[in-house]
Amino acid sequence: MATTDPTLLAPPTIEVEGGADVIGRSPGQLFWMRFRKDRAAFLGLGFIGFLILIAFIAPLISKLVGHGPNDLYSNMTDSIGLPKGPTGKFFFGADQNGRDVFVRTVYGTRTSLLVAVVATSIAVATGVTLGTVAGFFRGWVDTLISRIIDIMLSLPLLLFAIGIASACSLSPKGCFGGFVKPGRGLVIFIIALFSWTYIARVVRGQVLSIRERQFIDASRSLGAGNGRIMFREILPNLVAPIIIYSTLIIPANVLFESYLSYLGLGLPPDVPSWGGMISDATRYYQVAWWMMVFPGLFLLFTTLSFNLLGDGLRDALDPRGGR
């Protein structure tokens, strides 16, 4: 499962077009003008908004329907424990424990969004920091960080994730001296650990080219220290690629979390997760298609929306790519 190599996509540069007697528009305005026209991206944004909404009001929905996400309804399974399908009260049917699939799917939104967003944020923060440092200081710092990235990219991702997840679930104290506890924290840690490298590479490439520009020299000649240059001069120019790649990494991380849950790792059983629900469905899908179809559709539309949004942002920030 590889994501698109970021170094191959043209680094977006924001250039204000126009001659001397045309009113210049700020990059922000140009971006918004282009973005507004992209209906697909708006659709994506809309769906994401919808997801965020239902993630927030999940307890309310649960109350309205009258079923909790972990309530067991033994009348929704037959005498040999096979689940029953969608009814008036159970919109998406029940799972093998007699739990309401609809309510769990709604709660699953929380898990997926939370894990993906938090993990991505950590990954981005780490990646940006290390990438900037590597690109800015070059020399042995750069070599060290680049080599670490190369090694991490050669590692069989999922395998190590599985190993770490099982090892850390073994005792309640977790591993690495209690720093990583089993549960959501563990999953976030693993996802972040394996996805910071992409952004680090991109940022490094950007920083390498930006640092050669004249305004950096100008700043330095005014007496700015390294820190200031990195934060005040370079970082703002990275905002566009960072946003773009973040929105592209989020769906990959949503999928990654679902793969981990599918394989049965990391999340405790009472935390509903789409991947986990589909994993349960593997045993029953022949007689209980609803267990697989509904969480899967939500997963699909979530990643679809983030991808649409990401595409839209990329196109709006970089007119050359064209659509």
Partner 1 sequence: MLRYIVRRLMWVGLVVIIITMLTFLIFYVIPPTDPAISFAGKNQGPEVLALIRKRFGLDQPVYVQYGRFVKHLFLGDEYGWPGFGFSYASQSPIRGELFKRLGITLQLAVGGAIAWLIIGIPIGIVSALKRRSLTDRAAMGFALFGVSAPVFWLGLMALYIFWYRLHLLPGTGYIGFGVSPWQWFTHWIMPWLVLALLFAAFYARMVRGNMIEAMSEDYIRTARAKGLSERRVITRHAMRSSLTPVVTMFGLDFGGLIGGAIVTESVFNLRGLGSWVVDAVFSGDIPIVIAVTMFGAITITLLNLFVDVIYAFLDPRVRYS
Partner 2 sequence: MIKREGVVAHRKMIRVAAILTILVLMTAACSSKKDEGTGKPKTGGIFRVQLKTFRWGGGGFDPSSTYSAYSWTLYSNLMIRSLLGYRHVAGDAGNQTIPDLATDNGTVSSDGLTWTFKIKPGVKFSPPINRAVKASDIVYSFERIATPSVAAGYSFYYLSTIVGMQDFYDKKATKISGITTTGDDTISFKLTQPTGDFNYRVSMPAAAPIPPEVGKCFEKQGEYGRYVVSTGPYMFDGMAKLDPTSCATLKATVPSGFDPSPTGHVKLIRNPNYDPATDTKESRENFIDGLTVEANSNVADIFAKILKNEVDGEIANETPDILQKATTTLKNQVHTNEGDRTWYFSMNLTTPPFDDIHVRRAVNFILDKAALLKLAGGSLSGVIAGHYFPPSILAGRLKDYDPFKTTNDAGDLEKAKAEMKQSKYDKNKDGLCDPGLKACGPIYSPTEQAPPFSDYIPTVKNGFAKIGLKMNIAQVADSYVPANKPANNIAFFMGGGWGKDYGDPYTFAFPLFYGPSILCENNSAYSLLGETRKQAKACKNQYPASGSVPNADKKIDDCSALAGEARLDCWAELDKYFTENVVTWIPYRFATNVDTVATTVTKYVFDQFSGYTAYAHVSLDTSKQVGA
End-to-end CA distance of the chain: 26
16 binds partner 2, rule: CB under 8 A: no
User: Quick one: tokens of 138?
Assistant: 């070059």
Name the burial class of residue 322, with classes exposed (0-12), middle (13-18) and buried (19+) by CB atoms within 10 angstroms of its CB.
exposed
Minimum CB distance to partner 2 smaller for 100 or for 318? 100
What is the distance between the alpha carbons of residues 170 and 164, in angstroms, rounded to a whole number?
A: 10
Q: Report the partner that residue 321 touches, choosing among partner 1, partner 2, none (CB closer than 5 to 8 A by kind).
A: partner 1
172 binds partner 2, rule: CB under 8 A: yes
151 binds partner 1, rule: CB under 8 A: yes
What is the distance between the alpha carbons of residues 146 and 175, in angstroms, rounded to a whole number?
A: 27
Q: What are residue 89's phi and psi, to 5 degrees?
A: -90, -30
Segment interacting with partner 1, rule: CB under 8 A, options 2-10, 56-64, 89-97, 115-123: 2-10
Rg of the Cα trace of the chain? Answer: 23
59 binds partner 1, rule: CB under 8 A: no
For the bound state, the minimum distance from the C-beta of residue 96 to partner 1, rounded and expressed in Å, comes to 16
- Encoded amino acid at 222, one letter: L
43 binds partner 1, rule: CB under 8 A: no
- Dihedral angle computed from the Cα positions of residues 14, 15, 21 and 23, in that order, rounded to the nearest 10 degrees: 0
Q: CB of 230 within 8 A of CB of 216? A: no
Q: Residue 139: which residues within 8 A CB-CB, separation 6 or more?
A: none
| Adjacent-strand bridge partners of 94 | 100
Q: Where are the alpha helices (DSSP H) in 263-289?
A: 274-284
Q: Report the partner that residue 4 touches, choosing among partner 1, partner 2, none (CB closer than 5 to 8 A by kind).
A: partner 1
Segment interacting with partner 2, rule: CB under 8 A, options 92-100, 189-197, 249-257, 290-298: 92-100
278 binds partner 1, rule: CB under 8 A: yes
- Encoded amino acid at 192, one letter: A
Q: Report the partner that residue 137 touches, choosing among partner 1, partner 2, none (CB closer than 5 to 8 A by kind).
A: none
Among 99, 104, 211, 314, binds partner 2 (CB under 8 A): 99
Q: What is the DSSP letter of 10?
A: P
121 binds partner 2, rule: CB under 8 A: no
292 binds partner 1, rule: CB under 8 A: yes
275 binds partner 2, rule: CB under 8 A: no
Q: CB of 229 within 8 A of CB of 220? A: yes
How many residues bind partner 2 (CB under 8 A)? The answer is 29
The footprint of partner 2 (CB under 8 A) covers 70-72, 74, 77-82, 96-99, 166, 169-172, 182, 264, 268-270, 283-284, 286-288
The footprint of partner 1 (CB under 8 A) covers 1-2, 4-5, 8-10, 150-151, 153-156, 158-160, 162-164, 166-168, 170, 175, 251, 255, 258-259, 262-263, 275, 278, 281-282, 285-286, 289, 292-293, 296, 299-300, 303-304, 307-308, 311, 320-323
